[in-house]
């Protein structure tokens, strides 16, 4: 786990948190351990997901025809363009069906937002939609999805929400995008900003269960890609892969245009561009996250950027944040993100929703 930072040195500006409507995080009783938070966060039952979604394929790379599948929840056409639109990006081996993605979708929809649940390439059983693999550097895919819907509906404001690997993607895009419309805000939970550090942390003995979970999924996907595109992928000669770093070195680097794993981690990490983020950005980070690490120089860059609100907590696990609050607020990170994004909802929109229009 990350080295513990004394409580009085945790970075979370009290005035900014109050302004954003973010309460302090108090872990659920018995769940102060980061591993317990992470595991229970995956299996704690949620209310039924009742949001009616529309599926659409969006081309993200015209050179090879790569497409991703998005599930959308749109507000009525007369108000659609001026409503805040959120694009949700899941983590490694997740999908638009991940519990946390559906959880925040329900909250965002209830708040009056348009919601786009984006699957990364190949995720959500979409391997046939692209000849490529997916990786942590494809921020251009998020950009393509944003441009697609902004152009189609004339969207005025778009916010990006990313978890873990998806957090790295949206922060990388924000650093590359600048302040150009329609991007207006970013929010992330436990973003994998420093990829090399996180990959090595997964190989620590205490985290090997997580690493094997990811590797099983990634190797299954690689074998499916080889079956679908045998002229591109060769499984013979790969050998035994026993770590995420080995997978990234032998497979991701080979087929995605990187020299090796280190080159991939450097070029794909949002840590290189977080100092260039120009839109309001919320980063929620748990110090007891079992395998996401943040280097001191990256943390310093986040703190130095006035556009970023870095909220650090001693507890929370990996993208779990199960709090002692009752009802839906048990999922503290999801509730906090919606509160933060409400800053970008106009008084006119609030009045419209209150009147049921």
pLDDT of residue 13: 59
Radius of gyration of the chain (CA): 20
Asked if 253 and 137 touch (Cβ cutoff 8 Å), the reply is no
pLDDT of residue 236: 86
Task: For 5, list phi and psi in degrees, rounded to 5.
Answer: -100, 130
CA distances from 188 to 23, 88, 172, 261, 282 (A): 17, 10, 12, 24, 6
pLDDT of residue 15: 64
pLDDT of residue 239: 83
Q: How many CA atoms lie within 13 A of 44 on its CB side?
A: 19
pLDDT of residue 93: 95
The DSSP H or E segment spanning 247 is helix 244-247
pLDDT of residue 199: 97
pLDDT of residue 255: 97
Q: Which of 273, 353, 351, 286 is nearest to 319 (CA)?
A: 286
Alpha carbons 326 and 67: distance in angstroms, whole number: 40
Model pLDDT for residues 1-44, shown as the tens digit of each residue = 455 555 445 566 566 777 677 888 999 999 999 999 999 988 88
pTM for this entry = 0.93
Asked if 77 and 160 touch (Cβ cutoff 8 Å), the reply is no
The dotted CATH code for 7-194+270-354 is 3.40.50.1820
Task: For 181, list phi and psi in degrees, rounded to 5.
Answer: -65, 155
Task: For 154, list phi and psi in degrees, rounded to 5.
Answer: 65, 35
CA distances from 319 to 98, 167, 274, 278, 325 (A): 12, 11, 20, 25, 17
Per-residue model confidence as pLDDT tens for the chain (357 residues): 455 555 445 566 566 777 677 888 999 999 999 999 999 988 887 888 888 899 999 999 999 999 999 999 999 999 999 999 999 999 999 999 999 999 999 999 999 999 999 999 999 999 999 999 999 999 999 999 999 999 999 999 999 999 999 999 999 999 999 999 999 999 999 999 999 999 999 999 999 999 999 999 999 999 999 999 999 999 888 888 999 999 999 999 999 999 999 999 999 999 999 999 999 999 999 999 999 999 999 999 999 999 999 999 999 999 999 999 877 789 999 999 999 999 888 644 554 554 454
Alpha carbons 287 and 3: distance in angstroms, whole number: 7
pLDDT of residue 347: 46
- Say whether 217 sits in a helix, a strand or coil: helix
So where are the chain's domains?
7-194+270-354, 196-268
**Token digits of residue 27:** 């872990």
């Amino acid at each position: 786990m990350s080295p513990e930072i004394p409580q009085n040195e945790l970075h979370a500006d009290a005035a900014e948190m109050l302004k954003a409507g973010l309460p302090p995080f108090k872990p659920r009783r018995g769940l102060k351990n980061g591993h317990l938070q992470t595991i229970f966060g995956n299996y704690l039952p949620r209310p039924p997901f009742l949001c009616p979604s529309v599926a659409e394929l969006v081309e993200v790379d015209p050179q090879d025809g790569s497409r991703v599948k998005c599930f959308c929840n749109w507000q009525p056409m007369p108000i659609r363009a001026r409503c805040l639109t959120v694009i949700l990006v899941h983590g490694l081996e997740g999908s638009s069906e991940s519990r946390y993605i559906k959880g925040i979708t329900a909250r965002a929809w209830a708040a009056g937002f348009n919601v786009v649940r984006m699957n990364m390439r190949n995720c959500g059983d979409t391997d046939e939609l692209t000849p490529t693999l997916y990786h942590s550097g494809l921020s251009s895919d998020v950009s393509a999805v944003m441009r697609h819907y902004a152009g189609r509906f004339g969207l005025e404001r778009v916010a990006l929400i990313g978890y873990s690997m998806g957090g790295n993607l949206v922060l990388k895009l924000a650093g590359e995008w600048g302040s150009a419309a329609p991007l207006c805000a970013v929010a992330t939970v436990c973003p994998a900003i420093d990829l090399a550090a996180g990959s090595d942390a997964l190989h620590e003995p205490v985290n090997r269960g997580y690493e094997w979970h990811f590797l099983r999924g990634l190797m299954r996907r690689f074998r499916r890609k080889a079956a679908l595109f045998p002229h591109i992928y060769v499984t013979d000669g790969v050998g035994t892969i026993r770590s995420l770093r080995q997978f990234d070195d032998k497979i991701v680097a080979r087929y995605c245009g990187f020299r090796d794993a280190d080159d991939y981690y450097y070029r794909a990490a949002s840590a290189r561009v977080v100092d260039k983020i120009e839109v309001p950005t919320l980063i929620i980070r748990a110090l007891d996250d079992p395998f996401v690490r943040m280097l001191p120089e990256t943390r310093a860059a986040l703190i130095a950027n006035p556009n970023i609100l870095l909220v650090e907590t001693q507890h929370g696990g990996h993208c779990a944040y199960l709090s002692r609050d009752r009802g839906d607020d048990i999922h503290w990170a999801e509730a906090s993100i919606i509160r933060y994004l409400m800053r970008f909802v106009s008084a006119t929109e609030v009045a419209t929703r209150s009147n049921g229009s």
